Amino acid sequence: MSLLEINGLKLAIGAAEILHDVSLSVDAGQITAVIGESGSGKSMTAYCVNQLLPRGARTKGNVQFNGQNMLALDESTLCQMRGKDIGMVFQEPMTALNPVQTIGAQVAETVLIHGAASKPEARKIARDTLNRVGLPEAEFPLSRYPHELSGGQRQRVVIAMAIALRPKLLIADEPTTALDVTTQAQIMDLLKRLVQEDGMGLLLISHDLGVVADVADHIVIMRKGKVVEQGATAHIFKHMQHPYTKALFEASSHKPDREAKPQDTPILEVKNLIRDYTLPRKSLFGPAPKFRAVNGVSFTLKKGESLGLVGESGCGKSTLTRAILGLETIQGGSISINGVEVKAGHTVPRTLRRNMQVVFQDPYGSFNPRHKVARLVSEPFHLLESPPKGEARKAAISEALTAVGMHANDADKYIHEFSGGQRQRIAIARALIIKPELIILDEAVSALDVSIRAQILDLLAELSDKLGLSYLFISHDLSVVRAITDRVMVMKSGEIVEEGATEAIFQTPQHDYTRALLAAAPSLEDLMQ
């Protein structure tokens, strides 16, 4: 008998059937990973275990945990089990902690709710648990507040809260999705270590095969509320049966065919770029301190070339992008676009900005929900001196939409009628409409499911072949950068530490930081062999 055994689980919320007949199991001391794309029901399966379901949810079937059917228990029994027998770790460490309470109080709370110890003892347990998850007392006293910690550190606090009472089962819902690659690797190692030390069962939910593949003992692939395939990790990798599993693997390591050859003329030249931010004053008098977000960055992007920029959050890659886009004034160095130079103290002018467009990460937040697609897509027209009007404008909108695989009729719809992948296509259409030479893709595929991501990458490859576009491709996801770029730059603390042809960098990295990044990044290809 396994620690957790789910049999024939069905879940409906209102009229929507979310789960159909899900069965899986988790053994003590083992890691079961549930993989699926958005809407597959993987998170809901997890929430069925500790019964933290949305209002109006109806469940059927059997969720046997430690000899009890969780579906049959009443709320007060469930409250006693949550936190004590079943711990949970969430996707968003930035928002999973209460911002107005100290980390010590929040970890100790788990102990106190269950009356497992007195207040001073609970604080001691909190301290020990924070030490265990790698937050030592010297740097991380109990009196710290969540906003004083980084994302990875916050996730460690969330893990500490979940394991403070040494639960039998830990549920981790996308625990590393919001984190950088090196932090992601550290958190996965931590979870693995805790499972071994405490003999806990871990139900790990993820959309990323690469992340879970080298830690999971057992893999469950879900799609549209059903389990399509499951088995021991090594077995699944060798003998996958279901076409969806195969498609998922293929999409995860998808490489689009690219034919475009970079020309010799540069479209963008950045020389010794410096970008300073003024920080809040430390004292009432004296100059405000400055933070150098971009420190002497130089590079050249040729016409038709696809250049990758990788680095962890806070390395300055977004700041660099904003400076190039002309959204902020630069403090040193210069930016040349098509040979026209913008010097320190200036902002890239509108006349140059029309050569560039940007596609952002969030396909949900980057559109005004009250405007129709036609208006959204035609927004960049304000950069032109004489934007097309009437029929010409309509034609331009349809052309842009059809170029990204959407229909011309979609212009009359509102953005909420589209899925994440479709929205990202519309964002690309918006970038294309004034026929720029350079498109900056700022984590443009990071929020997408792997299969959708593969389609968008194909689209980008096709567009650059057809239109001779240059890309500056910014991402924290190394496998994506490897698939779509000719050259890659590695950025750390505001500086470019390594630059070179993509394959060369990936195969023989020179800088220590690049090596660390590559070592931390999960690679499916290595696992398949």
Partner 1 sequence: MLIFTLKRLLSLGLSLIAASVAIFFVVEIIPGDPARLMLGINATQDAVDALRTQMGLDQGLLARYWLWASGLLQGDFGISYTYRVPVAEMVQGRVWVSLPLALYALLLSTLIAFPIGIIAAAKRGSWADWLVMGGTQLGVAIPNFWFAMIMVSILAIKYGLFSAGGFPGWDEPLAALKALTLPAFVLALPQASILARVMRSSLLDTLSEDFMRTARAKGRTARGAMVHHALRNAMIPVLTIIGLQFSFLLAGAIIIEKIFFLPGLGSMIFTAITQRDLIVVESVVMLLVFAVILVTFLVDITYALVDPRLRRRA
Q: How far is the CB of 176 from partner 1 (least distance, A)?
A: 16
Strands (E), 27-168: 31-35, 57-65, 68-69, 86-89
Report how far apart, in Å, the C-alpha atoms of 94 and of each of 33, 97, 156, 178 are. 23, 7, 11, 9
Judged by CB under 8 A, the number of residues near partner 1 is 32
State the CB neighbour count (10 A cutoff) for residue 343.
12
> In this structure, are residues 56 and 14 in contact, taking their beta carbons and an 8 Å threshold?
yes
Query: Cα 70–73–79 angle (5° rounding)?
Result: 90
Tokens of 258: 């690219």
- CB of residue 494 vs partner 1: minimum separation in angstroms? 23
Tell me the closest approach of the beta carbon of residue 8 to partner 1, in angstroms.
25
Q: Does 284 bind partner 1 (CB under 8 A)?
A: yes
207-246: which residues touch partner 1 (CB under 8 A)? none
Q: Spell out, one character per residue from 138 to 157, where the chain touches partner 1: x when CB under 8 A holds, - when not.
A: -------x-x----------
Q: Which tokens sit at 95?
A: 């928002």
Look-up: residue for tokens 């505001």?
A: 494
| 72, 138, 259, 280: residue in contact with partner 1 (rule CB under 8 A) | 280
Virtual torsion, Cα 511, 516, 522, 525, nearest 10 deg:
40
Nearer to partner 1, 86 or 411 (CB): 86
Q: Quote the longest CA-to-CA distance of the chain.
A: 75
**Of residues 40-79, those binding partner 1 (CB under 8 A):** 50, 52, 75-76, 79
| Residue placing its CB nearer to partner 1 in the complex, 110 or 455 | 110
Q: Least distance (Å) from partner 1 to the CB of residue 282?
A: 9
Nearer of residues 161 and 474 to partner 1, judged by Cβ: 161
CA 340 to chain CA centroid, nearest Å: 36
Question: Sign of the CA dihedral 183, 189, 194, 200?
Answer: positive
Q: How far is the CB of 90 from partner 1 (least distance, A)?
A: 6
Comparing CB distances to partner 1, the nearer of 161 and 490 is: 161
> Minimal distance in Å, beta carbon 317 to partner 1?
26
Q: How far apart are CA 361 and CA 343, in angstroms?
A: 29
Site for partner 1 in 76-135 (CB under 8 A): 76, 79-84, 87-88, 90, 92, 95-101, 109-110, 113-114
Between residues 87 and 509, which has the closer beta carbon with respect to partner 1?
Answer: 87
- In angstroms, the CA 300 to CA 475 distance is 18
Residues that bind partner 1 (CB under 8 A): 50, 52, 75-76, 79-84, 87-88, 90, 92, 95-101, 109-110, 113-114, 145, 147, 158, 161-162, 280, 284
